Amino acid sequence: MAAADLDTAQEFQSAAEVAMLTGDFEAVMALVAPDVEVVTPLHSLEGVDALTEELSRARPADSTHVEFEHGDWKVLRNGRYLSEVRVLFKKETGELSYSRDRSFELTIQDGKVTRYEMRLAG
């Protein structure tokens, strides 16, 4: 089961990155439970709409290019997985404007993300 859950975590990360770039959250929504718990440093919410809203807020302006640097997923206990990501926000010229370091912990049950937690890192 752990291998399938790890695949789900990786699929979620890829779908979230595409959603950040395109604004299309359909692939993300397919991977999460309807009552997904969404935890950020500012608040805790519940539901697919809450997750979509949270990810939408992180989307940059259209003139900003975004790149993602991430390491391997770490397998924790009880269906939990952790990944650290650096998001690079670049100007149209390719010059780095700013970056953000985040860690993401997912809880996966029955092939769906049931808890998404984003923490500030670095």
More confident residue, 22 or 8: 8
pTM of the model: 0.88
The pLDDT tens digits for 94-106 are 899 889 899 999 9
Where are the chain's structural domains?
2-120
Quote the CA–CA distance of 38 and 51 in Å, as a whole number: 6
Per-residue pLDDT at 63: 63
User: In terms of CATH architecture, what is 2-120?
Assistant: Roll (3.10)
* Buried-state track 23-52, b at ≥16 Cβ within 10 A, e below 16: eebeebbebbbeebbbbbeeeebeebebbb
Our CA angle for 39, 100, 104, nearest 5°, is 35
Pairing state between β 44-46 and 32-39 = antiparallel
Provide the sign of the torsion angle of the four alpha carbons 115, 27, 120, 79, taken in this order.
positive
